[in-house]
Amino acid sequence: MGFDEMDVDTIWMDGDFVDWEDAKVHVLTHGLHYGSGIFEGARCYETEDGPAIFRWPEHLDRFYDSAKPYEMEIDHTREELTEATCELIRRQDLSSCYIRPLAFYGYESLGVSPGDCPTRTAIAVWPWGTYLGQDALENGIDVMVSSWRKHASSQVPTNAKTTGLYVNSMLAGEEARRNGYAEAIVLNKEGNVAEGPGENIFLVRDGDLYTPGLAESILDGITRETVITLARELGYTVHDGATISRGELNTADELFFTGSAAEVTPIKRVDNVEIGDGSRGPVTEAIQTRFFDVVERRTDDHEEWFTYP
């Protein structure tokens, strides 16, 4: 569904609520030319107690942390961004939505150095269902190992959610879709498993969970950390600093992606090699069920993870 088909009409921009069609920037905006922006992606879930934003403080922490390598000063406090987000949800009467905070160097000059370019900040919210489709959550997806490698943290900060760096993700994802796959897996420069274009990845072997560590050029995913916590609560052993070779993907008992958009999505084939029995495995299903029980508030625990507009 495109934005024109959605019942949303307001965006918060630099401290003001503006009409959706008026949220514009100059064509010579620095961030448009050099990818000099940072962003977040969070979800607000429909619950019996009303809309509930999942792990909003953690998303804000990463948002401000992402700005640091670029010496980007965000001219708004966490409290301002929180109130703006909650007001957007209230104004547009959204029971659930995706939330996109964005900050970028704006219009002033166009050297590679941002110089005196101002930092612009915006927040948009809109309805967004399952990222890879409802069938994907239940039956899993086919993925391929991309020919594109993930950039190393010695080249650019992989722990910052930077707009320009997602061309790497776009290339990998589009390569996969051109070849008939739903998504890609990206290897790091050493040839080990890093992540998906917009997801972290978990491998299940003999009942234990393995996920690449932060040194493997991955983004420190908030859903990744959530799944680690929930899996351990369920009694699983989680190796969260793992190095996973490409070959281990093919011999895994189960694989699944995690992310704010992807949530918990099983992987049923890699490069046409069937994973396990080619369906959502029991460990993935248990973690996925627990995840949705928590985020949709069918259980009372982890109340600290939620912000109510």
Catalytically active residues, by annotation: 161
Residue 113 token pair: 């150095």
Q: How far apart are CA 186 and CA 81, in angstroms?
A: 33
CA distances from 79 to 63, 148, 253 (A): 13, 39, 44
CA distances from 26 to 105, 132, 227 (A): 11, 33, 40
**Structural element, H or E, at residue 154:** none
Q: How many residues does the chain have?
A: 309
Q: How far apart are CA 2 and CA 37, in angstroms?
A: 23
CA distances from 309 to 69, 97, 122, 271 (A): 31, 12, 18, 43
How many CB atoms are closer than 10 A to CB 176? 24
Q: How far apart are CA 49 and CA 308, in angstroms?
A: 8
